[in-house]
Amino acid sequence: MAERPISHVPAAALALLAAAFAAQVGVHRLQGPPMARAGDLPLPPHAEALRLAVLGEPIAASKLMLLYVQAFDYQAGTQVAYRELDYDRLASWLQRILELDPPGQYPLFLASRVYADVADGAKARRMLELVHDAYLQDPNRRWPWLAHATLVAKHRLKDLPLARRYAVSLQTHTTARDAPLWVRQMEPFILEDMNELESARVLLGGLIASGQVKDERDLQLLERHLASIEERQKAAERNADSAKRREVDNPDGHPTPSPYKQP
């Protein structure tokens, strides 16, 4: 049935519609934009209580909780907001979300790539620990996040012992076929950065000898790296020997006269 033309609508109704619309826009502006306050993140409810509350829809609950958590930190001026968050509570929320939907990767993505990316080292470590603990529960599904956490610990936090601990976990627990080789061979490279060349050499040699590395190019790369470590070791030994000889030749520790004339 065709509608009647607008001319059938009384002018008073049209005027009321226009006035009410303008008033609604005005009221909306008066109320201002919604604001999330970072300090207000409460403790998460217990997982069983949540299951009950969402009528047996734990996956939907976990996604809604993610949105809820994001509403506290995903706001204008994100970096400032992250620092203001209570990271212990944030970690509790992310753990609870993981409990509700264990195959879900979103909480670990947030922990390793978003919340760990803050200037406060203690807070970043809190998130990396969360990723590590979660990884230990399901290594073959969650290794990408611990691999990223290892890189964050090594390159951004410059915490090589922490990076090594994560690398050892990755090497020990990851057995997934889709995990690339570098995920399980991070430890020798971190040891090398820690200047523990002998340990790095032993680990790398062991890895090559174990036959785990099937790809010819990977094998060549590892062998070249092993050779470079051995070269660095020899250079270090040579430097140590020459230092020892200098000490024997010059026991008082006086500086050796320069062969060049002073200007």
Partner 1 sequence: MLGFALPIARYTLLEAMRNRLVWLLVAALVAAMVAAAFLQQVAITEAARVQASVIAAGMRLFAVFLVAALVVTAVVREMNDKVLEVLLAKPMPRSSWLLGRGIGFIAIAGAVAAAAGLPLWLFGDALGVAAWTASLFLELAIVAAAALFCVLTLNQVVTALAAVLGFYLLARTMAAVQIIAGAAGSASWSDRLTGGVIDAIATLLPALDRMTQTAWVLDGPGGASLATAVLLPACVYVALLGAAAAFDLYRQNF
Q: C-alpha angle with apex 182: 110 to 174, nearest 5 degrees?
A: 65
- Is residue 14 involved in binding partner 1 (CB under 8 A)? yes
CB of 107 to partner 1, least distance (A): 16
Question: Which of these segments, 74-82, 99-107, 133-141, 246-254, binds partner 1 (CB under 8 A)?
Answer: 74-82
- Which residues make Cβ contacts (< 8 Å) with residue 100, sequence separation at least 6? 47, 50, 51, 58, 59, 61, 62, 65
- Is residue 106 involved in binding partner 1 (CB under 8 A)? no
- Is residue 8 involved in binding partner 1 (CB under 8 A)? yes
CB of 85 to partner 1, least distance (A): 13
CB of 105 to partner 1, least distance (A): 19
**CA distances to 8, 121, 127 from 163, in Å:** 75, 14, 14
Chain centroid to Cα 105, Å, comes to: 12
Residue where the block lists tokens 């609870």 = 96
Q: What is the rounded distance in angstroms from the CA atom of residue 247 to the CA atom of residue 106?
A: 59
Question: Which of these segments, 13-21, 157-165, 169-177, 207-215, binds partner 1 (CB under 8 A)?
Answer: 13-21
The maximal CA–CA distance of the chain, rounded, in angstroms, is: 112
Of 71 and 235, CB closest to partner 1:
71
- Is residue 33 involved in binding partner 1 (CB under 8 A)? yes
What is the contact surface with partner 1 in residues (CB under 8 A)? 1-6, 8-10, 13-14, 16-17, 19-21, 23-25, 27-28, 30-31, 33-36, 67-68, 70-71, 73-76, 78
